[in-house]
Amino acid sequence: MLTITPTNAALGAEILGVDLSRDLADTTFNEIVAAFHEYEVVYFRNQTLRPEQHIAFSRRFGELEKHVRVDCCRPGYPELFVVSNVIENGKAIGSRDAGLFWHSDLCYMKEPSRGSLFYAREVPMKDGEPLGDTLFASATAAYEALPSSMKTKIAKLKAVNSYSKGYYRDRNSGARAPLTEDQKRRTPDIEHPIVRTHPFTGKKCLFVNEGYTSRIAALDGEEGESLLTELLAHATDERFIYRHRWQVGDFLIWDNCSTQHLAIPDYALPQRRLMERTTVRGSAPF
Ligand code: OGA
Ligand code: MN
């Protein structure tokens, strides 16, 4: 039996009593999946995992993605996307600027990711307190809180999600190489419903984000722009947010349909941050 302790926020729960390095029974795994669907973000503390174990546990959720930023993956493990500010031999070992705007992972793909599994290896500290928190916003809570007139207005609308919008606007955007032709080919602009139905829970989610949603389809000019601005502000209102303070050994799973997330870059070398992420393949939004 798992012990599940919800946070005080609109989403998120800690799961206790699980060692993810073990080969978990199906019943245990199914309880974890049920909690993941219910709480949208779940985390386990004090895990010690080798890359193979991280990948093996992640695979139980489905096939894993290999990120288009190949240079950010852990050598020998194309499924492990590294998020880190660490420099080795003059070279960044991972993405130094992931998640600096609200987004969900791979929302710019035809089939956005189902969920991401994030493992904290090194957490920056100052005066005994962790830095580099991550914020999560519940897209189901955001949708539910919309006035019914707005729900009606956006029920059938789609929005354009664009990888290049996010790619080029980061803190270190000057440091990122221009997208290669192959990366561009893999990430054409894509339309998704603004109100997305969760494929497992059937709940409605507000599926727009500041990072990658570039415009409302079929609503040009001022009207579309102001509607998108309004929805983006609403989606990340503090009522819908859980803020995760990392500890070394945390293993956290977020749902890329029912949540979006934001990294807080309030640290710098020599404070080191080293996280590794697997990304589970998802299905086309409807
Ligand atoms: C990511 C991401 C946020 C963080 O890896 O997808 O957005 O806090 N990371 O590192
Ligand atoms: Mn992300």
Mean predicted confidence (pLDDT) in 121-128: 97
Q: Which pLDDT tens digit goes with each residue over 220-234?
A: 889 999 999 999 999
How confident is residue 174, by pLDDT bands cut at 50, 70 and 90?
A: low
pLDDT of 166 over the 90 cut: no
Q: Give the number of other CB atoms < 10 A from CB of residue 29.
A: 15
- Quote the pLDDT of residue 67: 83
Number of domains in the chain: 1
Q: Which pLDDT tens digit goes with each residue over 28-77?
A: 999 999 999 999 999 999 999 999 999 999 999 999 998 878 889 999 99
> Which residue's alpha carbon is nearest to atom 10 within ligand 1?
263
| pTM attached to this predicted model | 0.96
Q: Report if residue 238 sits inside a domain.
A: yes
- Quote the pLDDT of residue 71: 87
Q: Domain range for residue 166?
A: 3-280
Question: pLDDT > 90: what percent of the chain?
Answer: 85
- Quote the pLDDT of residue 180: 86
Look up 234 and say whether it is catalytic.
no
Task: Ligand 1 pocket test: pick from 82, 83, 121, 243 the residue with the most ligand atoms within 8 Å of its Cβ.
Answer: 83
- Quote the pLDDT of residue 173: 54
Q: Which pLDDT tens digit goes with each residue over 85-114?
A: 999 999 999 998 889 999 999 999 999 999
Q: Report if residue 286 sits inside a domain.
A: no
Strand partners, 260: 137
Q: What angle do CA 228, 113, 170 make, to 5 degrees?
A: 55
Nearest to residue 252, comparing CAs of 10, 3, 20? 20
- Quote the pLDDT of residue 70: 84
With a 6 A CB cut-off, is 131 part of the ligand 1 pocket? Answer: no
How confident is residue 128, by pLDDT bands cut at 50, 70 and 90?
A: very high
| CA of residue 261 to ligand 2 center, whole Å | 6
Using the atom order of ligand 1, give the atom closest to the CA of residue 99: 7
CATH of the domain at 128: 3.60.130.10
Q: Report if residue 207 sits inside a domain.
A: yes
Q: Report if residue 147 sits inside a domain.
A: yes
Q: Report if residue 167 sits inside a domain.
A: yes
Look up 127 and say whether it is catalytic.
no
72 torsion bin: left (phi>0), alpha (psi -120 to 50), beta (else): alpha
Q: Report if residue 23 sits inside a domain.
A: yes
Q: Report if residue 102 sits inside a domain.
A: yes
For residue 84, how many C-alpha atoms fall within 13 Å in the half-sphere facing its CB? 24
Q: Which pLDDT tens digit goes with each residue over 236-281?
A: 999 999 999 999 999 999 999 999 999 999 999 999 999 999 999 9
> Which residue's alpha carbon is nearest to atom 2 within ligand 1?
99
> Which residue's alpha carbon is nearest to atom 7 within ligand 1?
99
With a 6 A CB cut-off, is 9 part of the ligand 1 pocket? Answer: no
Q: Report if residue 111 sits inside a domain.
A: yes
Catalytic residue among 67, 192, 273, 277: 277
